[in-house]
Chains A and B, each alone.
Chain A
Amino acid sequence: MKKKNRVVSRIVLHIALIFLCFVVAFPFLWMLTNSIKTKDEIWKMPPSMFPEIAQWNNYKEVFSDGMFLRYIWNSSYTAVICTIIVLINSALFAYALTYIHFKGKKVLFTLIMATYIMPSAATHIPSYMILSRTGLMNTHAGYIISSSASIFNIFFFMTVFSRINLSIINAAKVDGAGHWQIFWRIVAPMSASSFVTLGLLSFIGNYNNYLWPSLILRDKEKYFVSMGLRSFFSSQGAYGMKWGTIMAACCCIIIPLLLVFFFCEKWIINGITSDAAVKE
C-alpha cells in the first residue's frame, strides 16, 4: 500500500514537472510553429498549435534583403573579439592581484569591488561622450573598446586562481620561471575549464547585448542582432499583419543560442552557480 502511494506520488511529481517545463518552453514552441504558419492561420480563431502545411515563406522574407545575416555576423564577430580580449586581460589582472606583490593592491581591490556592483547606466553618458569625442561613435571598434573590461570575469578568475596549490607556483619560481611563464604554462592551463565557461558566458552576453550598442550604433549595416530584430519588429508594425515573419526572425536569433546552450549546457550551468561566480 505504502509502496503504491509512493509510485503514485512520483508520477504526480513528474506530471507536474512536465507541465511546468511545457509552460516555460511554450513561448519557444509557439514562436517556432507560428513561424511556419500562413497569414490566415496566424489570425485564425480559435488558434491551432500547428499549421496544416509548414510554410517556409516567412523565412525567405526574413532573409530576402540579406540584413539578418549581416546582423548575425556583426554580433558574432564583435562578441568573439570582445570575449578573447576580456578573457586574456581579466586573467592577467586576476593573476597580478593573486600572485604578484606590489604596492596599492588593497586600494585596487577595493576599487574593483566597488565597481562590480555599479549599474552600467551610471557610466553610459560619459562613455558616450568619450566615444563621440574620439570619433569612435557608430563604429564596432567603439563598442569593442568600451566593452573590453569585465569585472565579473576578474572576480571569477581570482577565485579560481587562488585555489591553485601555491607550492606548484613556488616550485616554478625556484626553477627560475617568471610570472609571464608561470601564467601561460601553469596557471592558464590549470584553469582551462574556467576559460571555457567564461568564454561562453561572455560570448552570450555580448551577442545578446542591446542597450549600449543601441545607443552608439546608428547605421543599420552595423546593427547587432537584438537591434536588427527590434527595428525589424517596428518596421513590420507591432499591430500589423506580419507576425509569422516576425516569429521567423525571432527563430533565427534564438534557435542558434538554444543550440549552443544545448551542447555546452554543463559548462554554462556550472559557471553560473560555481562559488567563483558567487562568493564575492
Chain B
Amino acid sequence: MKKSYYNNRKKKARQNRTKGKGARRFKESMTGFLFLLPALLPLLVFWVGPVLYSLWLSFTDWDMMSPEIHFVGLSNYKSLIGQSDFMAVLQNTLVFALGSVIPTILLGLLAALALSSAKKGTRIYRMVMFAPYITPMVAVSIVWSWIFEPRVGILNYVLSFLGIHGLKWIQSRNTAMLSVIIVTVWKQIGWTLLFYLEALQKVPGNLLEAAAIDGAGKVKRFLKITLPMISPTTFFLLIITTINSLQAYDQIQVLTQGGPAGSTRTLLYYYYQEAFESFHTGKASAVAVILVLITVILSLAETKVSRKYIYYE
C-alpha cells in the first residue's frame, strides 16, 4: 500500500516534470473554467450583460418596438428631474423607506430583547414571529387587504374600540402608504429579530453582571453596554432593510397598484409602469440606473462602516 503510494507520487512527479509547469497551469486553468462555466454563463447573460445594456438604454429614446434606437444623451435624466411626477415618486420612496425601516428595526429589537430574557418557549415564539417572512408577499397582501376592508374589515372594527372610526386604508391617499408600510413591517420583523437574537447572544454576560454589581440599572446597562455592542448589527440591518425597501413591489402591486392618485408609487413601481405599461424603455432604464446608484451608495457605506467596526473590535 505504502509502496504503491510512494511509487505513484514518484510517477506523478516525473509526469509533472516532463509536462512542465506551463502545461500543468494550463490544465488547472481549464478545470477552473469548466467549473465556473455553468454559473458564469447565466450570470453574464442575465445579470452582467443586462445591467450594462440598461445603462446604455438609459441614454436612448427606445420604446421596445421600433427597430431604431437613438442616442439622446442625458435627456432622459433631465426630463425625469424636471418632472413633478418623478419628484413625488422620490418622495414616496423616501417615506416608504423611512416608514418601513425604522419600525422594522425597532420592533425587531424590542421583540429580540423580550425573547432573549424569556427562558422558556423562545423557539416557538421565534418561529411564530418569523413565519410571515417566508410566506409569499402576494398571498399575505391579499389577506391584509381583507383586514383593511373599510366597512367590515377587522382592523377598523378593532380600532373602533379606541375611538378611531372610518379609516379607508388602501382606498384613501392619506392612509394607502401607511397600509403598505404596515404589511411590509409585519412581514420583516421576524427577519430583524433573528439577527438581533444572534447579536444579543454575543454580548458578554459577565460585562453586564459587573455593571449590575456596580449599581447600573437595567436601562443604563442597555444604553451603555448592550446598544453599543449590537450597533454593527443595527447598522447592517439598517442598510439591508433600506435596500430591500427600494425593491418593494409585490405588496404595492396587490394592495394599491401605486394609487390612489399615485400616493404609493415608489421608484421601483414607477420603473415597471414606465417599462412594461407605457413602454418608455429609455426613461425606465434611467430610473433603473438611479435605483442602482442609490443601492451602490448604500452598500458602499455598509462595507466602509462595517470594516471600521471590525478594526475597532
A positions within 8 Å CB-CB of B: 10, 13-14, 16-17, 20-21, 24-25, 27-28, 30-31, 34, 42-47, 85, 88-90, 92-93, 95-97, 100-103, 108, 111-112, 115, 117-130, 145-146, 148-149, 151, 154, 174-176, 178-180, 183, 204, 207-208, 210-211, 215, 225-227, 229-230, 233, 238, 243, 246-247, 250, 253-254, 257-258, 261-262, 265, 268-269, 272-273, 278
B125 x A247 contact (CB < 8 A): no
> Chain B 7-21 against A: per-residue CB contact (8 Å), 1 yes, 0 no?
011001000000000
Q: What are 28 of the A-B contact pairs (CB < 8 Å)?
A: A10-B119, A24-B132, A27-B186, A28-B143, A31-B143, A45-B151, A47-B157, A89-B38, A89-B39, A96-B32, A101-B32, A102-B28, A111-B48, A117-B295, A118-B51, A119-B288, A121-B247, A121-B271, A123-B54, A126-B50, A176-B8, A183-B35, A204-B134, A208-B134, A238-B145, A250-B142, A258-B134, A272-B191
Contact of B131 among A126, A146, A258 (CB under 8 A): A258
Closest Cβ–Cβ distance, residue A252 to chain B (whole Å): 9
Which of A108, A180, A250, A261 is packed against the most chain B CB atoms within 10 Å? A250
**Residue numbers in A under 8 Å from B206 (CB-CB):** none
Which chain B residues border A238 with CB–CB below 8 Å?
145
Taking Cβ atoms with an 8 Å cutoff, the residues of B that contact A are 5, 8-9, 12, 25, 28-29, 31-33, 35-36, 38-40, 42-43, 45-51, 53-54, 57, 64, 111, 114-115, 117-121, 125-132, 134-140, 142-147, 149, 151-152, 154, 157, 186, 189-191, 194-195, 197-198, 236, 243, 246-247, 249-250, 253-254, 268, 271-272, 275-276, 281, 284-285, 288-289, 291-292, 295-296, 299
Contact between chains at B138 and A118 (CB < 8 Å): no
Q: Are B32 and A261 in contact (CB under 8 A)?
A: no
A115 and B43 form a contact (CB under 8 A): yes
Q: Which residues of A contact B129 (CB under 8 A)?
A: 20-21, 24
CB of A229 within 8 A of CB of B138, answer yes
Shortest CB–CB separation between residue A275 and chain B, in angstroms? Answer: 10
Using Cβ atoms and an 8 Å threshold, which residues of chain B touch A175?
Answer: 5
> Residue of A at shortest CB range from B144?
A27
Query: What are the residues of chain B within 8 A of A118 when measuring CB–CB?
Result: 47, 51, 292, 295
Residue of A20, A90, A258 touching B114 (CB-CB under 8 A): A20
Report Cα–Cα, A117/B300, bound state, in Å: 10
Judged by DSSP, the binding face of B is helix
CB distance from B233 to the nearest CB of A (A): 9
5 nearest A-B pairs in the assembled complex, by CB-CB distance = A126-B50, A96-B35, A123-B50, A102-B32, A89-B38
- Please determine whether A125 and B42 come into contact, CB atoms closer than 8 angstroms: no
Residues on the A chain within 8 Å of B253, using CB: 210-211, 230
Pairwise interchain contact A93-B39, C-beta atoms closer than 8 A = yes
- A246 adjacent to B142 (CB under 8 Å): yes
Q: A47-B157, A261-B130 are in contact. List 15 more A-B contacts (CB 8 A).
A: A17-B125, A24-B186, A30-B143, A112-B43, A117-B299, A119-B246, A119-B288, A119-B292, A123-B51, A125-B284, A149-B42, A176-B8, A208-B138, A211-B253, A226-B136
Within 8 Å CB of A129, what residues of B? 64
Interchain CB contact (< 8 A) of A24 among B54, B128, B285: B128
Q: Is the CB of B281 within 8 A of A119?
A: no
**Which of A148, A176, A250 sits near B143, CB closer than 8 Å?**
A250
Residue of A nearest to B298 (CB): A117
In angstroms, Cα B288 to Cα A180, docked, is: 40
Say whether B288 contacts A262, CB under 8 Å.
no
Contact residue among B9, B111, B146, B272 (Cβ-Cβ distance under 8 Å from A243): B146
* Known contacts A125-B275, A208-B137; A92/B131 CB under 8 A: no
**Contact of A21 with B128 at beta-carbon distance under 8 Å, contacts A208-B136, A208-B137, A229-B142 already known:** yes
Q: Which residues of A contact B195 (CB under 8 A)?
A: 273, 278
Check if B111 sits within 8 Å of A20, measured CB to CB.
yes
**Is A247 within 8 A of B146, CB to CB?**
yes
The listed residue (A21, A43, A243, A246) touching B125 by CB distance below 8 A is: A21
In the docked arrangement, what's the CA distance between A34 and B146, Å?
Answer: 10
CB of B144 within 8 A of CB of A92, answer no
A91 to chain B, nearest CB (A): 9
